[in-house]
Amino acid sequence: MKNNYGYFVFLLLTIYSCQTAYQAKPHDFPKPVDTTDKPIEFQEKKTYTTENGVSADNLFDGARLNDFQQLNQDTFQASIHPENKPINRSPYYAFRLWSATPKKVVIELNYTDAAHRYFPKISTDGENWTLLDSSQVQLASDSVNAFIQLDLNADKIWIAAQELQNSTHVKNWCLEQAKLTGVEFQVAGKSKKGRDMFLLDISKGENRKKDIIAIISRQHPPEVTGYLAMKAFIEEILADKPLSNDFRKKYHLLVFPLMNPDGVDLGHWRHNTGGIDLNRDWAYYHQPEVKQVANYIVKTAKKNKSKVILGMDFHSTYYDVLYTNQQSAKNLPHYKDYWVAGIREVLSEEKIRESPSNVGAPVSKGWFLTQFEAEGIVYEVGDNTPRDLIGKKGQAAAIEMMQLLIYK
C-alpha cells in the first residue's frame, strides 16, 4: 500500500513538473502593474431613433456608441464612453447612421474624460473606407469633442475612428494566408469571453531546433494601423520570392494577429473584458489572453528544443516609432541596430524614429528579453500614417529582418 502511495505521489509530481515546464515563468519587473480583474461597463447594443427620423445603431462587431440623442432640429449627440477607468485617452467610436428622409445633420462626438483623437472615416458598406473631408469635421474650442457634418438618407452609413478590422475580418485574412504552403491556421486558446485566439503557424520543413520568431498584434483594440503594418510584414514573409522562401525554411514563425478579440469586437478603447491593458500583463499572466499566448510560445519552444530569438508587437500611437530594449539580447545580439539602420537606408525619405529603454513595466518587449533573452521590439504606427506608406514600411521591415537573419 505504501509503495502504491509513493508511486502515486511520484506520478503526480512528474505530471506537475512536466506541465509547469511548458508554462511561461513569472518575472518581477522593475515597475509592476496590478493586472487582476477590474469591472467594466458593457455598452448596450441597440438602435436609437430620434423624433425627426434620424437613427443610429451599434449592432455590429467593433461598434462603440453608448448613447444617441437629438439636441436640436439638426444636431445630434453621440456619446462615447470607455469600458472602465482609469484608461489611456484613446476614445474609439464606430456606429451607423441613417434618416427616414434626406437631411443635413451635425453629429457631436461627446467623450468622457478624453479629447478627440481619431479623425473620422466613412463607409457605405462597413468594408471600404475613406477619410471624411476635413471641411466636414470641426473641433470644439477646447479640442475635447468633435462635430461632424453629414448628409443622411435612408441608406446606412458607417462612421468610425479607424477602419473596421474586427475578429471576422482578421479570421478571413488568416484563412487566406492559410491557403499558402507551409501556413497553418489554428486556434491557440480562448479569450475571457470565449472568442478564438487566432494563430498562424508558418514554417517549411521540420521545426525541431528551428529558431522561433513570435509576432503579436492588437493588444489594444483601436490600434488598426499597427495591425495593417503587421499584415504587410507577414504577407512579405509569405511572398513567393527566393528570400522569403529561404527564410521560411530556416525559421519558425508564430503569429498571433488578434490578441484582444473581446476588446476589438466590443469596441473598447484599450482593455480586455477583464478591464486590463493586456500590454501590462506580461509578468504574472492574470488575463487569459496573455497567459495562453505566452504559454503557447514557451511550450512550442520547449517541445521543439528551439530558441525564441525575436518577438515583435505591432501597435499604434500618434506617430511612427520603434520601441526597443536598451539591453542587447543574448539570443540575437546587435540585431536591432542593424535592422533599424537597414530600414532607415531603404526608407531614406521617411523619418524612422527609435526609442530604446531599459526593462520597466511588464510589457511584451521586456517579456521577450526576460523570458527568452530574445530581442523584443514594439512597432508603433501613427494613427494617421497614409495606408500605402504603412504597407511600404511593413514590407521594408520584413525584408530587412529576413536579409539579416537568413545569414545568421
3-state class (DSSP) for residue 228:
helix
Range of the domain at 154: 47-160
Residues 173 and 261 in one domain: yes
- From residue 280, alpha-carbon distances to 140, 277, 301 in Å are 33, 6, 23
Residues 146 and 206 in one domain: no
30 Cα distance to chain centroid: 25
Residues 122 and 220 in one domain: no
What does the pLDDT read at residue 112? 78
What distance in Å separates the CA atoms of residue 111 and residue 225, rounded to the nearest whole number? 22
What does the pLDDT read at residue 13? 47
What does the pLDDT read at residue 315? 98
- From residue 336, alpha-carbon distances to 38, 138, 282, 301, 308 in Å are 36, 41, 21, 22, 15
Flag whether 63 is in a domain.
Answer: yes
Which three cell numbers mark 201?
A: 503557424
- From residue 162, alpha-carbon distances to 61, 132, 150 in Å are 13, 11, 18
Residue whose cell numbers read 526609442: 355
Flag whether 192 is in a domain.
Answer: yes
Residues 85 and 188 in one domain: no
What does the pLDDT read at residue 148? 98
Flag whether 33 is in a domain.
Answer: no
Which three cell numbers mark 284?
A: 504574472
Whether the model pTM is above 0.85: yes
Of the two residues 136 and 89, the one the predictor is more confident about is 136
Residues 189 and 333 in one domain: yes
What does the pLDDT read at residue 1? 47
What does the pLDDT read at residue 20? 72
What interhelical angle do 167-177 and 224-237 show, nearest 10?
A: 10
Of 129, 160, 191, which residue is a domain's last?
160
Residues 209 and 81 in one domain: no
Residues 390 and 275 in one domain: yes
Residues 128 and 195 in one domain: no
What distance in Å separates the CA atoms of residue 366 and residue 195, rounded to the nearest whole number? 27
> pLDDT (tens digit, 9 = 90+) per residue, 17-44?
555 779 999 999 999 999 999 999 999 9
User: At 4, is the pLDDT very low, low, confident or very high (cuts 50, 70, 90)?
Assistant: low
Question: C-alpha dihedral over 208, 209, 211, 214, to 10 degrees?
Answer: 50
CATH number for the domain including 238?
Answer: 3.40.630.10
Domain count of the fold of the chain: 2
Residues 190 and 131 in one domain: no
Residue 147: closest CA among 182, 107, 185: 107
